[in-house]
Chain A
Protein backbone atom coordinates (compact mmCIF):
# COMPACT_ATOMS: atom_id res chain seq x y z
CA UNK A 1 0.00 0.00 0.00
CA UNK A 2 2.77 2.40 0.89
CA UNK A 3 4.51 1.68 -2.40
CA UNK A 4 1.30 2.42 -4.13
CA UNK A 5 0.97 5.80 -2.47
CA UNK A 6 4.57 6.65 -3.25
CA UNK A 7 3.95 5.70 -6.86
CA UNK A 8 0.89 7.91 -6.94
CA UNK A 9 2.73 10.87 -5.48
CA UNK A 10 5.43 10.52 -8.11
CA UNK A 11 2.77 10.36 -10.75
CA UNK A 12 1.28 13.55 -9.35
CA UNK A 13 4.51 15.39 -9.98
CA UNK A 14 4.42 14.22 -13.56
CA UNK A 15 0.85 15.40 -13.82
CA UNK A 16 1.74 18.81 -12.46
CA UNK A 17 4.68 19.14 -14.78
CA UNK A 18 2.69 18.17 -17.85
CA UNK A 19 -0.12 20.41 -16.79
CA UNK A 20 2.07 23.45 -16.32
CA UNK A 21 3.55 22.86 -19.75
CA UNK A 22 0.12 22.54 -21.33
CA UNK A 23 -1.27 25.59 -19.59
CA UNK A 24 1.76 27.59 -20.49
CA UNK A 25 1.56 26.57 -24.12
CA UNK A 26 -2.13 27.32 -24.40
CA UNK A 27 -1.80 30.65 -22.63
CA UNK A 28 0.96 31.78 -24.92
CA UNK A 29 -1.10 31.07 -28.03
CA UNK A 30 -4.31 32.56 -26.67
CA UNK A 31 -3.49 36.18 -27.35
CA UNK A 32 -1.06 38.89 -26.37
CA UNK A 33 -1.68 39.83 -22.72
CA UNK A 34 -0.08 43.23 -23.21
CA UNK A 35 -2.69 44.38 -25.71
CA UNK A 36 -5.47 43.05 -23.53
CA UNK A 37 -4.24 44.67 -20.34
CA UNK A 38 -3.51 48.10 -21.69
CA UNK A 39 -6.19 50.74 -22.14
CA UNK A 40 -7.36 51.03 -25.77
CA UNK A 41 -5.72 54.42 -26.22
CA UNK A 42 -2.23 53.08 -25.47
CA UNK A 43 0.29 53.64 -28.28
CA UNK A 44 2.29 50.77 -29.76
CA UNK A 45 5.39 51.78 -27.80
CA UNK A 46 3.44 51.04 -24.63
CA UNK A 47 2.53 47.57 -25.82
CA UNK A 48 6.18 46.84 -26.51
CA UNK A 49 7.38 48.16 -23.19
CA UNK A 50 4.75 46.24 -21.24
CA UNK A 51 5.63 43.05 -23.07
CA UNK A 52 9.19 43.60 -22.04
CA UNK A 53 8.27 44.32 -18.44
CA UNK A 54 6.29 41.07 -18.31
CA UNK A 55 9.05 39.09 -19.98
CA UNK A 56 7.20 38.36 -23.20
CA UNK A 57 9.95 39.59 -25.39
CA UNK A 58 11.90 36.41 -24.70
CA UNK A 59 11.47 33.11 -26.53
CA UNK A 60 8.66 30.98 -25.17
CA UNK A 61 10.89 28.17 -23.89
CA UNK A 62 12.96 30.63 -21.85
CA UNK A 63 9.77 32.08 -20.41
CA UNK A 64 8.66 28.58 -19.51
CA UNK A 65 11.94 27.61 -17.88
CA UNK A 66 11.89 30.79 -15.83
CA UNK A 67 8.32 30.10 -14.82
CA UNK A 68 9.19 26.52 -13.89
CA UNK A 69 12.14 27.44 -11.75
CA UNK A 70 10.05 29.96 -9.86
CA UNK A 71 7.08 27.59 -9.57
CA UNK A 72 9.28 24.90 -8.06
CA UNK A 73 10.04 27.33 -5.30
CA UNK A 74 6.32 27.97 -4.90
CA UNK A 75 6.46 31.41 -6.47
CA UNK A 76 3.92 32.28 -9.09
CA UNK A 77 4.52 35.99 -8.99
CA UNK A 78 1.94 38.70 -8.54
CA UNK A 79 -1.40 38.61 -10.25
CA UNK A 80 -1.34 41.15 -13.03
CA UNK A 81 -4.83 42.32 -12.25
CA UNK A 82 -4.65 42.46 -8.47
CA UNK A 83 -1.00 43.30 -8.05
CA UNK A 84 -0.97 40.80 -5.17
CA UNK A 85 0.70 37.38 -4.87
CA UNK A 86 -1.30 35.02 -7.07
CA UNK A 87 -1.02 31.97 -4.84
CA UNK A 88 -2.33 33.89 -1.84
CA UNK A 89 -5.34 35.00 -3.83
CA UNK A 90 -6.12 31.45 -4.89
CA UNK A 91 -5.80 30.17 -1.33
CA UNK A 92 -8.01 33.01 -0.14
CA UNK A 93 -10.79 32.08 -2.58
CA UNK A 94 -10.38 28.31 -2.25
CA UNK A 95 -12.29 27.65 1.00
CA UNK A 96 -15.51 29.17 -0.35
CA UNK A 97 -15.46 26.83 -3.34
CA UNK A 98 -14.60 23.86 -1.16
CA UNK A 99 -17.49 24.64 1.15
CA UNK A 100 -19.91 24.97 -1.75
CA UNK A 101 -18.73 21.77 -3.43
CA UNK A 102 -18.98 19.82 -0.18
CA UNK A 103 -22.50 21.04 0.49
CA UNK A 104 -23.55 20.19 -3.06
CA UNK A 105 -22.00 16.74 -2.79
CA UNK A 106 -23.77 15.98 0.47
CA UNK A 107 -27.08 17.14 -0.91
CA UNK A 108 -26.70 15.02 -4.04
CA UNK A 109 -25.74 11.92 -2.05
CA UNK A 110 -28.49 12.31 0.53
CA UNK A 111 -31.12 12.69 -2.18
CA UNK A 112 -29.59 10.66 -4.98
CA UNK A 113 -28.66 7.39 -3.28
CA UNK A 114 -32.04 6.66 -1.71
CA UNK A 115 -33.75 7.64 -4.92
CA UNK A 116 -31.55 5.29 -6.93
CA UNK A 117 -32.01 2.42 -4.47
CA UNK A 118 -35.77 2.76 -4.39
CA UNK A 119 -35.95 3.06 -8.17
CA UNK A 120 -34.01 -0.17 -8.54
CA UNK A 121 -35.98 -2.13 -5.98
CA UNK A 122 -39.24 -0.99 -7.53
CA UNK A 123 -38.05 -1.27 -11.09
CA UNK A 124 -40.67 -0.24 -13.64
CA UNK A 125 -42.96 1.30 -11.06
CA UNK A 126 -44.17 4.88 -10.95
CA UNK A 127 -41.55 5.63 -8.33
CA UNK A 128 -38.91 4.34 -10.69
CA UNK A 129 -40.17 6.50 -13.55
CA UNK A 130 -40.34 9.53 -11.27
CA UNK A 131 -36.90 8.98 -9.84
CA UNK A 132 -35.42 8.53 -13.26
CA UNK A 133 -37.19 11.55 -14.71
CA UNK A 134 -36.49 13.84 -11.78
CA UNK A 135 -32.82 13.15 -12.06
CA UNK A 136 -32.83 13.76 -15.77
CA UNK A 137 -34.86 16.94 -15.59
CA UNK A 138 -32.55 18.31 -12.93
CA UNK A 139 -29.58 17.47 -15.06
CA UNK A 140 -30.95 18.79 -18.31
CA UNK A 141 -31.60 22.20 -16.82
CA UNK A 142 -28.67 24.50 -17.36
CA UNK A 143 -27.33 25.59 -14.00
CA UNK A 144 -27.43 29.30 -14.81
CA UNK A 145 -31.09 28.99 -15.68
CA UNK A 146 -31.96 26.90 -12.63
CA UNK A 147 -29.96 29.24 -10.41
CA UNK A 148 -31.78 32.33 -11.61
CA UNK A 149 -35.14 30.59 -11.26
CA UNK A 150 -34.34 29.57 -7.68
CA UNK A 151 -33.33 33.14 -6.89
CA UNK A 152 -36.54 34.50 -8.36
CA UNK A 153 -38.73 32.07 -6.45
CA UNK A 154 -37.02 31.86 -3.07
CA UNK A 155 -35.34 35.22 -2.76
CA UNK A 156 -37.46 37.66 -4.74
CA UNK A 157 -40.96 36.23 -4.43
CA UNK A 158 -40.99 34.23 -1.20
CA UNK A 159 -38.18 36.24 0.38
CA UNK A 160 -37.09 33.28 2.50
CA UNK A 161 -33.49 33.03 1.34
CA UNK A 162 -30.88 35.56 0.23
CA UNK A 163 -30.27 36.02 -3.48
CA UNK A 164 -26.54 35.72 -3.42
CA UNK A 165 -23.29 36.27 -1.62
CA UNK A 166 -21.55 34.33 1.12
CA UNK A 167 -22.33 34.63 4.78
CA UNK A 168 -24.52 32.49 6.97
CA UNK A 169 -25.64 28.96 6.21
CA UNK A 170 -28.74 30.37 4.50
CA UNK A 171 -26.56 31.77 1.79
CA UNK A 172 -25.33 28.29 0.97
CA UNK A 173 -28.70 26.65 0.29
CA UNK A 174 -29.54 27.85 -3.21
CA UNK A 175 -26.04 27.62 -4.70
CA UNK A 176 -25.55 24.16 -3.22
CA UNK A 177 -28.81 22.87 -4.68
CA UNK A 178 -27.99 24.41 -8.05
CA UNK A 179 -24.55 22.90 -8.11
CA UNK A 180 -25.72 19.50 -6.87
CA UNK A 181 -28.02 18.97 -9.84
CA UNK A 182 -24.77 18.73 -11.74
CA UNK A 183 -24.48 15.16 -10.56
CA UNK A 184 -27.59 14.21 -8.71
CA UNK A 185 -28.92 12.54 -11.85
CA UNK A 186 -25.69 10.67 -12.43
CA UNK A 187 -25.82 9.25 -8.93
CA UNK A 188 -29.44 8.20 -9.27
CA UNK A 189 -28.78 6.48 -12.58
CA UNK A 190 -25.57 4.80 -11.47
CA UNK A 191 -27.03 3.50 -8.22
CA UNK A 192 -30.14 2.28 -9.99
CA UNK A 193 -28.36 0.49 -12.83
CA UNK A 194 -25.73 -0.91 -10.48
CA UNK A 195 -28.34 -2.31 -8.13
CA UNK A 196 -30.34 -3.78 -10.99
CA UNK A 197 -27.27 -5.58 -12.24
CA UNK A 198 -26.44 -7.04 -8.91
CA UNK A 199 -29.99 -7.99 -8.03
CA UNK A 200 -29.91 -10.41 -10.96
CA UNK A 201 -26.69 -12.07 -9.88
CA UNK A 202 -26.78 -15.66 -8.79
CA UNK A 203 -25.61 -14.99 -5.28
CA UNK A 204 -28.48 -12.63 -4.66
CA UNK A 205 -30.87 -15.30 -5.82
CA UNK A 206 -29.12 -17.65 -3.50
CA UNK A 207 -29.57 -15.22 -0.68
CA UNK A 208 -33.23 -14.88 -1.54
CA UNK A 209 -33.55 -18.62 -1.64
CA UNK A 210 -31.95 -18.84 1.78
CA UNK A 211 -34.78 -16.66 3.00
CA UNK A 212 -32.78 -13.58 3.95
CA UNK A 213 -34.73 -10.40 4.62
CA UNK A 214 -35.13 -8.32 1.43
CA UNK A 215 -33.70 -5.33 3.28
CA UNK A 216 -30.58 -7.23 4.20
CA UNK A 217 -30.18 -8.44 0.67
CA UNK A 218 -30.66 -5.02 -0.80
CA UNK A 219 -28.36 -3.24 1.54
CA UNK A 220 -25.66 -5.68 2.40
CA UNK A 221 -25.23 -7.32 -0.95
CA UNK A 222 -26.77 -5.32 -3.70
CA UNK A 223 -26.11 -1.77 -2.59
CA UNK A 224 -22.56 -2.39 -1.55
CA UNK A 225 -21.75 -3.58 -5.02
CA UNK A 226 -22.96 -0.41 -6.68
CA UNK A 227 -20.47 1.61 -4.79
CA UNK A 228 -17.48 1.31 -7.12
CA UNK A 229 -18.98 3.33 -9.96
CA UNK A 230 -20.64 5.69 -7.50
CA UNK A 231 -17.41 6.35 -5.67
CA UNK A 232 -15.63 6.86 -8.98
CA UNK A 233 -18.24 9.34 -9.99
CA UNK A 234 -18.21 11.15 -6.68
CA UNK A 235 -14.44 11.46 -6.65
CA UNK A 236 -14.39 12.61 -10.22
CA UNK A 237 -17.17 15.06 -9.89
CA UNK A 238 -15.99 16.44 -6.60
CA UNK A 239 -12.63 17.14 -8.13
CA UNK A 240 -14.40 18.69 -11.04
CA UNK A 241 -16.90 20.63 -8.99
CA UNK A 242 -14.15 22.92 -7.84
CA UNK A 243 -13.49 24.02 -11.37
CA UNK A 244 -16.97 23.35 -12.66
CA UNK A 245 -18.72 25.57 -10.19
CA UNK A 246 -17.86 28.66 -12.21
CA UNK A 247 -21.37 29.27 -13.44
CA UNK A 248 -22.97 28.67 -10.08
CA UNK A 249 -20.42 30.96 -8.48
CA UNK A 250 -21.14 33.72 -10.99
CA UNK A 251 -24.91 33.44 -10.70
CA UNK A 252 -24.80 33.57 -6.91
CA UNK A 253 -21.87 35.99 -6.63
CA UNK A 254 -20.11 33.32 -4.61
CA UNK A 255 -16.52 34.35 -3.87
CA UNK A 256 -15.01 31.14 -5.15
CA UNK A 257 -11.85 30.14 -6.91
CA UNK A 258 -13.67 28.95 -10.04
CA UNK A 259 -14.85 32.47 -10.76
CA UNK A 260 -11.41 33.81 -9.91
CA UNK A 261 -9.74 31.42 -12.35
CA UNK A 262 -12.08 32.12 -15.24
CA UNK A 263 -11.79 35.83 -14.68
CA UNK A 264 -8.03 35.35 -14.72
CA UNK A 265 -8.25 33.48 -18.01
CA UNK A 266 -10.35 36.22 -19.60
CA UNK A 267 -7.94 38.87 -18.38
CA UNK A 268 -4.98 36.72 -19.50
CA UNK A 269 -3.62 37.09 -15.99
CA UNK A 270 -0.96 34.38 -16.44
CA UNK A 271 0.33 34.16 -12.86
CA UNK A 272 -3.18 33.84 -11.47
CA UNK A 273 -4.17 31.22 -14.05
CA UNK A 274 -1.05 29.19 -13.34
CA UNK A 275 -1.50 29.36 -9.59
CA UNK A 276 -5.14 28.31 -9.72
CA UNK A 277 -4.46 25.47 -12.14
CA UNK A 278 -1.76 24.08 -9.88
CA UNK A 279 -4.03 24.27 -6.85
CA UNK A 280 -6.86 22.57 -8.80
CA UNK A 281 -4.49 19.88 -9.95
CA UNK A 282 -3.22 19.14 -6.47
CA UNK A 283 -6.78 18.88 -5.30
CA UNK A 284 -7.83 16.53 -8.09
CA UNK A 285 -4.82 14.31 -7.63
CA UNK A 286 -5.69 14.05 -3.97
CA UNK A 287 -9.35 13.30 -4.65
CA UNK A 288 -8.41 10.57 -7.11
CA UNK A 289 -5.98 9.02 -4.71
CA UNK A 290 -8.70 8.81 -2.10
CA UNK A 291 -11.04 7.22 -4.63
CA UNK A 292 -8.50 4.58 -5.57
CA UNK A 293 -7.84 3.74 -1.96
CA UNK A 294 -11.57 3.45 -1.41
CA UNK A 295 -11.77 0.91 -4.25
CA UNK A 296 -9.62 -1.44 -2.24
CA UNK A 297 -11.78 -0.90 0.77
CA UNK A 298 -15.07 -1.44 -1.09
CA UNK A 299 -13.95 -4.38 -3.13
CA UNK A 300 -11.43 -6.44 -1.20
CA UNK A 301 -10.49 -8.23 -4.39
CA UNK A 302 -8.77 -5.08 -5.66
CA UNK A 303 -5.27 -4.88 -4.29
CA UNK A 304 -2.65 -2.34 -5.04
CA UNK A 305 0.87 -3.52 -5.20
Chain B
Protein backbone atom coordinates (compact mmCIF):
# COMPACT_ATOMS: atom_id res chain seq x y z
CA UNK B 1 0.00 0.00 0.00
CA UNK B 2 2.73 2.39 0.98
CA UNK B 3 4.55 1.80 -2.23
CA UNK B 4 1.42 2.36 -4.25
CA UNK B 5 0.78 5.68 -2.54
CA UNK B 6 4.18 6.78 -3.58
CA UNK B 7 3.24 6.30 -7.18
CA UNK B 8 0.69 9.06 -6.88
CA UNK B 9 3.06 11.29 -5.02
CA UNK B 10 5.76 10.84 -7.56
CA UNK B 11 3.34 11.77 -10.29
CA UNK B 12 2.42 14.88 -8.38
CA UNK B 13 5.97 15.81 -7.62
CA UNK B 14 6.82 15.58 -11.24
CA UNK B 15 4.43 18.44 -11.92
CA UNK B 16 5.51 20.40 -8.88
CA UNK B 17 9.15 20.50 -9.77
CA UNK B 18 8.25 22.37 -12.90
CA UNK B 19 7.49 25.47 -10.90
CA UNK B 20 11.14 26.25 -10.53
CA UNK B 21 10.69 28.68 -7.68
CA UNK B 22 9.46 32.18 -7.19
CA UNK B 23 12.69 33.84 -8.20
CA UNK B 24 12.44 32.42 -11.66
CA UNK B 25 8.87 33.52 -12.02
CA UNK B 26 9.65 37.09 -11.07
CA UNK B 27 12.53 37.10 -13.49
CA UNK B 28 10.31 35.70 -16.16
CA UNK B 29 7.56 38.21 -15.44
CA UNK B 30 9.93 41.12 -15.88
CA UNK B 31 10.53 39.90 -19.37
CA UNK B 32 6.88 39.97 -20.30
CA UNK B 33 5.70 43.55 -20.78
CA UNK B 34 2.09 42.66 -20.06
CA UNK B 35 2.94 41.10 -16.75
CA UNK B 36 5.12 43.97 -15.61
CA UNK B 37 2.35 46.34 -16.61
CA UNK B 38 -0.13 44.31 -14.66
CA UNK B 39 1.93 44.45 -11.52
CA UNK B 40 2.56 48.18 -11.90
CA UNK B 41 -1.04 49.11 -12.68
CA UNK B 42 -2.51 47.08 -9.86
CA UNK B 43 0.04 48.48 -7.44
CA UNK B 44 -0.83 52.01 -8.53
CA UNK B 45 -4.54 51.49 -7.92
CA UNK B 46 -3.91 50.04 -4.49
CA UNK B 47 -1.52 52.89 -3.72
CA UNK B 48 -4.15 55.50 -4.69
CA UNK B 49 -6.82 53.75 -2.65
CA UNK B 50 -4.62 53.63 0.43
CA UNK B 51 -3.45 57.22 0.18
CA UNK B 52 -6.69 58.78 -1.06
CA UNK B 53 -6.91 61.32 1.81
CA UNK B 54 -3.38 62.54 1.09
CA UNK B 55 -3.67 62.60 -2.68
CA UNK B 56 -7.10 64.18 -2.98
CA UNK B 57 -7.10 67.93 -3.52
CA UNK B 58 -10.58 68.34 -1.96
CA UNK B 59 -13.12 66.76 0.32
CA UNK B 60 -14.95 64.31 -1.97
CA UNK B 61 -18.36 65.14 -0.48
CA UNK B 62 -18.05 68.94 -0.33
CA UNK B 63 -20.46 70.45 -2.83
CA UNK B 64 -20.55 73.91 -4.36
CA UNK B 65 -23.25 74.66 -6.88
CA UNK B 66 -21.16 77.44 -8.42
CA UNK B 67 -18.70 75.01 -9.93
CA UNK B 68 -21.37 72.50 -10.92
CA UNK B 69 -20.41 70.55 -14.07
CA UNK B 70 -17.20 72.52 -14.60
CA UNK B 71 -14.96 70.81 -17.17
CA UNK B 72 -11.47 69.33 -16.67
CA UNK B 73 -8.49 71.66 -16.26
CA UNK B 74 -7.35 71.38 -19.87
CA UNK B 75 -10.70 72.47 -21.29
CA UNK B 76 -11.30 76.13 -22.00
CA UNK B 77 -13.34 76.86 -18.92
CA UNK B 78 -11.53 74.43 -16.67
CA UNK B 79 -9.50 75.41 -13.66
CA UNK B 80 -6.40 73.77 -12.20
CA UNK B 81 -8.11 73.68 -8.86
CA UNK B 82 -10.39 70.90 -10.10
CA UNK B 83 -8.11 68.86 -12.37
CA UNK B 84 -10.83 66.59 -13.74
CA UNK B 85 -13.67 69.06 -13.31
CA UNK B 86 -16.63 68.87 -10.98
CA UNK B 87 -19.72 66.68 -10.92
CA UNK B 88 -23.43 67.46 -11.03
CA UNK B 89 -23.39 68.68 -7.43
CA UNK B 90 -20.17 70.62 -7.76
CA UNK B 91 -17.85 68.09 -6.12
CA UNK B 92 -14.27 67.58 -7.22
CA UNK B 93 -14.23 64.64 -9.59
CA UNK B 94 -10.58 63.67 -9.06
CA UNK B 95 -11.03 63.44 -5.30
CA UNK B 96 -14.13 61.34 -5.77
CA UNK B 97 -12.28 58.97 -8.08
CA UNK B 98 -9.44 58.61 -5.55
CA UNK B 99 -11.83 57.90 -2.71
CA UNK B 100 -14.00 55.76 -4.96
CA UNK B 101 -11.01 53.46 -5.52
CA UNK B 102 -11.23 52.37 -1.90
CA UNK B 103 -14.80 51.17 -1.84
CA UNK B 104 -14.83 49.87 -5.39
CA UNK B 105 -11.65 47.85 -4.97
CA UNK B 106 -12.78 46.35 -1.70
CA UNK B 107 -16.19 45.50 -3.09
CA UNK B 108 -14.76 43.97 -6.27
CA UNK B 109 -12.00 41.95 -4.69
CA UNK B 110 -13.90 40.75 -1.62
CA UNK B 111 -16.96 39.76 -3.59
CA UNK B 112 -14.87 37.76 -6.08
CA UNK B 113 -12.86 36.11 -3.33
CA UNK B 114 -15.97 35.08 -1.46
CA UNK B 115 -17.91 33.99 -4.51
CA UNK B 116 -14.83 32.23 -5.89
CA UNK B 117 -14.16 30.43 -2.64
CA UNK B 118 -17.67 29.03 -2.34
CA UNK B 119 -17.95 28.39 -6.05
CA UNK B 120 -14.68 26.46 -6.31
CA UNK B 121 -15.36 24.32 -3.25
CA UNK B 122 -18.89 23.45 -4.33
CA UNK B 123 -17.81 22.93 -7.92
CA UNK B 124 -15.02 20.56 -6.91
CA UNK B 125 -17.31 18.60 -4.63
CA UNK B 126 -20.05 18.19 -7.17
CA UNK B 127 -17.73 17.39 -10.06
CA UNK B 128 -15.62 14.95 -8.12
CA UNK B 129 -18.15 13.18 -5.96
CA UNK B 130 -21.15 13.31 -8.34
CA UNK B 131 -24.24 11.49 -7.08
CA UNK B 132 -26.60 13.10 -4.60
CA UNK B 133 -24.25 15.90 -3.64
CA UNK B 134 -23.91 16.93 -7.22
CA UNK B 135 -27.66 16.85 -7.72
CA UNK B 136 -28.14 19.04 -4.69
CA UNK B 137 -25.42 21.57 -5.45
CA UNK B 138 -26.22 21.88 -9.12
CA UNK B 139 -29.92 22.07 -8.33
CA UNK B 140 -29.29 25.02 -6.07
CA UNK B 141 -27.07 26.53 -8.74
CA UNK B 142 -29.81 26.23 -11.36
CA UNK B 143 -32.32 27.76 -9.01
CA UNK B 144 -29.91 30.56 -8.21
CA UNK B 145 -29.43 31.37 -11.89
CA UNK B 146 -33.14 31.51 -12.49
CA UNK B 147 -33.64 33.69 -9.47
CA UNK B 148 -34.11 37.37 -10.21
CA UNK B 149 -31.20 39.07 -8.47
CA UNK B 150 -33.28 42.22 -8.24
CA UNK B 151 -35.73 40.40 -6.02
CA UNK B 152 -32.92 38.98 -3.94
CA UNK B 153 -31.49 42.46 -3.44
CA UNK B 154 -34.86 43.98 -2.58
CA UNK B 155 -35.66 41.27 -0.07
CA UNK B 156 -32.28 41.59 1.60
CA UNK B 157 -32.74 45.36 2.02
CA UNK B 158 -36.20 44.75 3.39
CA UNK B 159 -34.94 42.33 6.01
CA UNK B 160 -31.38 43.35 6.79
CA UNK B 161 -31.27 46.96 5.63
CA UNK B 162 -28.66 48.49 3.38
CA UNK B 163 -25.08 48.03 4.53
CA UNK B 164 -21.68 47.29 3.11
CA UNK B 165 -21.76 43.70 4.33
CA UNK B 166 -25.10 43.13 2.66
CA UNK B 167 -23.72 44.40 -0.63
CA UNK B 168 -21.09 41.68 -0.40
CA UNK B 169 -23.75 39.17 0.59
CA UNK B 170 -25.84 39.83 -2.50
CA UNK B 171 -22.83 39.85 -4.82
CA UNK B 172 -21.55 36.59 -3.36
CA UNK B 173 -24.91 34.86 -3.56
CA UNK B 174 -25.34 35.85 -7.17
CA UNK B 175 -21.69 35.26 -8.10
CA UNK B 176 -20.73 31.79 -6.88
CA UNK B 177 -22.62 29.80 -9.52
CA UNK B 178 -20.40 30.80 -12.39
CA UNK B 179 -17.35 29.45 -10.53
CA UNK B 180 -19.10 26.31 -9.37
CA UNK B 181 -20.27 25.29 -12.80
CA UNK B 182 -16.96 26.12 -14.41
CA UNK B 183 -15.00 24.10 -11.87
CA UNK B 184 -17.41 21.22 -12.03
CA UNK B 185 -17.07 20.96 -15.81
CA UNK B 186 -13.30 20.94 -15.65
CA UNK B 187 -13.27 18.50 -12.73
CA UNK B 188 -15.46 16.06 -14.61
CA UNK B 189 -12.94 16.10 -17.39
CA UNK B 190 -9.76 16.02 -15.28
CA UNK B 191 -11.14 13.20 -13.18
CA UNK B 192 -10.92 10.90 -16.19
CA UNK B 193 -7.22 11.51 -16.80
CA UNK B 194 -4.89 8.60 -16.37
CA UNK B 195 -2.98 9.73 -13.36
CA UNK B 196 -6.09 10.54 -11.35
CA UNK B 197 -7.63 7.24 -12.31
CA UNK B 198 -4.37 5.69 -11.24
CA UNK B 199 -4.29 7.58 -7.96
CA UNK B 200 -7.84 6.54 -7.20
CA UNK B 201 -7.25 2.95 -8.09
CA UNK B 202 -4.32 2.83 -5.71
CA UNK B 203 -6.55 4.29 -2.97
CA UNK B 204 -5.19 7.79 -2.54
CA UNK B 205 -7.60 9.71 -0.30
CA UNK B 206 -10.11 11.95 -2.07
CA UNK B 207 -9.09 15.20 -0.39
CA UNK B 208 -5.55 14.60 -1.46
CA UNK B 209 -6.47 13.90 -5.03
CA UNK B 210 -8.71 16.94 -5.12
CA UNK B 211 -6.14 19.31 -3.69
CA UNK B 212 -3.02 18.01 -5.33
CA UNK B 213 -4.28 16.88 -8.69
CA UNK B 214 -7.65 18.33 -9.53
CA UNK B 215 -7.38 21.80 -8.04
CA UNK B 216 -4.30 22.82 -10.05
CA UNK B 217 -6.20 22.09 -13.25
CA UNK B 218 -9.15 24.28 -12.45
CA UNK B 219 -6.96 27.21 -11.45
CA UNK B 220 -6.50 28.46 -14.99
CA UNK B 221 -10.15 28.94 -15.95
CA UNK B 222 -11.00 30.17 -12.45
CA UNK B 223 -8.43 32.93 -12.62
CA UNK B 224 -9.56 33.88 -16.11
CA UNK B 225 -13.10 34.27 -14.87
CA UNK B 226 -12.16 35.87 -11.57
CA UNK B 227 -10.35 38.65 -13.42
CA UNK B 228 -13.42 39.51 -15.34
CA UNK B 229 -15.64 39.14 -12.34
CA UNK B 230 -13.79 41.78 -10.33
CA UNK B 231 -14.73 44.41 -12.89
CA UNK B 232 -18.21 42.94 -12.99
CA UNK B 233 -18.66 43.22 -9.26
CA UNK B 234 -17.45 46.82 -9.25
CA UNK B 235 -20.10 47.59 -11.85
CA UNK B 236 -22.75 45.46 -10.19
CA UNK B 237 -22.44 47.65 -7.12
CA UNK B 238 -23.85 50.55 -9.15
CA UNK B 239 -26.85 48.48 -10.17
CA UNK B 240 -27.40 47.57 -6.54
CA UNK B 241 -27.19 51.17 -5.42
CA UNK B 242 -30.04 51.87 -7.80
CA UNK B 243 -32.11 49.41 -5.80
CA UNK B 244 -31.04 51.01 -2.55
CA UNK B 245 -28.66 48.26 -1.57
CA UNK B 246 -25.43 49.74 -2.82
CA UNK B 247 -22.93 51.75 -0.91
CA UNK B 248 -24.99 54.76 0.16
CA UNK B 249 -24.26 58.25 -1.11
CA UNK B 250 -22.48 60.55 -0.64
CA UNK B 251 -19.72 57.91 -0.35
CA UNK B 252 -18.23 57.82 -3.84
CA UNK B 253 -17.97 54.57 -5.80
CA UNK B 254 -16.91 54.23 -9.42
CA UNK B 255 -19.98 52.32 -10.46
CA UNK B 256 -22.24 54.85 -8.78
CA UNK B 257 -20.40 57.73 -10.44
CA UNK B 258 -20.87 56.24 -13.91
CA UNK B 259 -24.50 55.57 -13.18
CA UNK B 260 -25.11 59.16 -12.07
CA UNK B 261 -22.99 60.57 -14.86
CA UNK B 262 -24.80 58.85 -17.70
CA UNK B 263 -27.51 61.50 -17.52
CA UNK B 264 -24.84 64.04 -18.44
CA UNK B 265 -23.26 62.16 -21.33
CA UNK B 266 -23.83 65.13 -23.61
CA UNK B 267 -23.21 68.11 -21.37
CA UNK B 268 -20.46 66.69 -19.20
CA UNK B 269 -19.18 63.39 -20.58
CA UNK B 270 -16.21 63.47 -18.21
CA UNK B 271 -18.50 62.60 -15.31
CA UNK B 272 -18.92 59.06 -16.57
CA UNK B 273 -15.80 58.69 -18.73
CA UNK B 274 -13.20 59.20 -15.98
CA UNK B 275 -14.66 56.73 -13.49
CA UNK B 276 -15.16 54.38 -16.44
CA UNK B 277 -11.49 54.73 -17.30
CA UNK B 278 -10.62 54.04 -13.68
CA UNK B 279 -12.53 50.77 -13.82
CA UNK B 280 -10.99 49.79 -17.16
CA UNK B 281 -7.53 50.64 -15.86
CA UNK B 282 -8.05 48.55 -12.75
CA UNK B 283 -9.53 45.60 -14.55
CA UNK B 284 -6.81 45.68 -17.21
CA UNK B 285 -4.17 45.72 -14.49
CA UNK B 286 -5.79 42.82 -12.71
CA UNK B 287 -6.16 40.90 -15.96
CA UNK B 288 -2.49 41.24 -16.85
CA UNK B 289 -1.63 40.36 -13.31
CA UNK B 290 -3.95 37.39 -13.57
CA UNK B 291 -2.20 36.19 -16.70
CA UNK B 292 1.00 36.18 -14.72
CA UNK B 293 -0.64 34.44 -11.76
CA UNK B 294 -2.03 31.84 -14.10
CA UNK B 295 1.49 30.92 -15.11
CA UNK B 296 2.82 31.00 -11.57
CA UNK B 297 0.13 28.65 -10.38
CA UNK B 298 0.02 26.44 -13.42
CA UNK B 299 1.32 22.97 -12.65
CA UNK B 300 2.68 22.52 -16.14
CA UNK B 301 5.41 25.14 -15.70
Contact = CB atoms under 8 A, between A and B. Distances in A.
Do A and B associate with each other? yes
A14 B221 contact: no
A281 B231 contact: no
Contacts of B294: 193
Contact of A232 (B182, B279, B280): B182
Interface in B228-250: 228, 231-232, 235, 238-239
A76 interface: no
> For chain A, which range describes its interface: under 10, 10 to 19, 20 to 34, or 35 or more residues?
35 or more
B271 to A, nearest CB: 11
A295 B185 contact: yes
B51 interface: no
B15 to A, nearest CB: 12
A246 B280 CA distance: 23
A45 to B, nearest CB: 25
Interface stretch (B59-67, B86-94, B142-150): B142-150
B185 A30 contact: no
Interface stretch (A20-28, A79-87, A161-169, A216-224): A20-28
A247 B150 contact: no
Interface string A124-138: 100011001100110
B208 interface: no
A140 B188 CA distance: 31
A139 B181 contact: no
B32 interface: yes
Interface residues of B, number: 61
Nearest to B227: A189
Contacts of A240: 145
Contacts of B224: 186, 189-190, 192-193
B284 A228 contact: no
B154 A197 contact: no
A170 interface: no
Interface stretch (B42-50, B73-81, B258-266): B258-266
A133 B255 CA distance: 20
Interface in A1-48: 7, 11-12, 14-15, 18-19, 22-23, 26-27, 29-31
A155 interface: no
Interface string B174-185: 000110011001
B135 A26 contact: no
B151 interface: yes
Given A136-B287, A232-B185, A185 B228 contact: yes
B161 interface: no
A15 to B, nearest CB: 5
A30 B154 contact: yes
Contacts of A261: 148, 150
A254 interface: no
A26 B283 contact: no
A201 B224 CA distance: 19
B138 interface: yes
Interface string B268-301: 0000100010011001100110010010001010
Nearest to B234: A140
B158 A243 contact: no
A42 B155 CA distance: 25
A301 interface: yes
A141 to B, nearest CB: 6
Nearest to A289: B142
Contact of A193 (B138, B139, B189, B220): B220
A68 interface: no
Contact of A265 (B138, B154, B193): B154
28 contacts: A7-B135, A18-B143, A22-B143, A27-B151, A29-B155, A29-B159, A30-B151, A30-B154, A124-B33, A124-B34, A136-B227, A136-B283, A142-B276, A145-B265, A193-B291, A228-B186, A231-B185, A236-B178, A236-B181, A273-B148, A276-B148, A277-B147, A280-B146, A288-B142, A295-B185, A295-B189, A299-B189, A301-B189
Interface of B: 32-34, 135, 138-140, 142-143, 145-152, 154-155, 158-159, 177-178, 181-182, 185-186, 188-189, 192-193, 220-221, 223-225, 227-228, 231-232, 235, 238-239, 255, 258-259, 262, 265-266, 272, 276, 279-280, 283-284, 287-288, 291, 294, 298, 300
> 4 closest Cβ contacts across the A-B interface?
A281-B146, A301-B192, A26-B155, A232-B185
Given A192-B224, A277-B147, 15 more contacts: A14-B135, A29-B155, A132-B34, A136-B287, A139-B228, A142-B259, A152-B265, A194-B220, A229-B185, A229-B186, A233-B182, A262-B150, A265-B150, A266-B150, A288-B138
